[in-house]
Amino acid sequence: MDTSAIGTVPGASGVALITVAANGENSIVVASGANFQVTPEYLDKHADVIRNAGVVLSQLEIPLESVLHLAKLCEEANVPMILDPAPAQRLPEELFQKVAWLTPNETEAAFYLGHGVGDSGPEAAAHELLAKGARGVILKLGARGSYFALEPGVRRQFSRFMCRR
């Protein structure tokens, strides 16, 4: 992992407090802090790090305009971008089309689809998210594991126990 573009800025650090219930469901409270200092200009300053990456992971705790700019830089450099679309917020359709992997949890997926995942099941929800343009979806299902879907039709549900060593 290349950490050469990490720096310090005045102000508080970003923090996310995550609690997990006995049933495996989580609740997250975010205070973005320094994350809001990640601007398109900052990304341009470190564009070589992005261009030389094997993959780039982002979330929505940085400004949306920065996420969009990052997606454009990744697309231009042919670097896959993983987007964890949290905290959920309205996204331009073009962002979905620039994302290699979209990794929402059930609550976030419901926000982006306009209905609950349980209404149609994880396979249908993943299919709808793929239709928005992402090339792959990993739908996080809490205690039930995750549902993996690729654009060409590969589908598989993983229980959380399959992922443990």
* Residue 54 structural domain: 36-158
CATH value at residue 152: 3.40.1190.20
DSSP 105: B
The tens digit of pLDDT for each residue in 87-111 reads 999 999 999 999 999 999 999 999 9
Residue 160's pLDDT is: 54
**How many separate domains does the chain show?**
1
Q: Is residue 14 in some structural domain?
A: no
For the chain, which ranges sit under pLDDT 50? 161-165
**CA distances in angstroms from 9 to 1, 2, 44, 90, 112, listed in the order given:** 21, 19, 17, 28, 33
Q: Determine contact, residues 131/102, Cβ cutoff 8 Å.
A: no
Cα separation, 36 vs 7, whole angstroms: 13
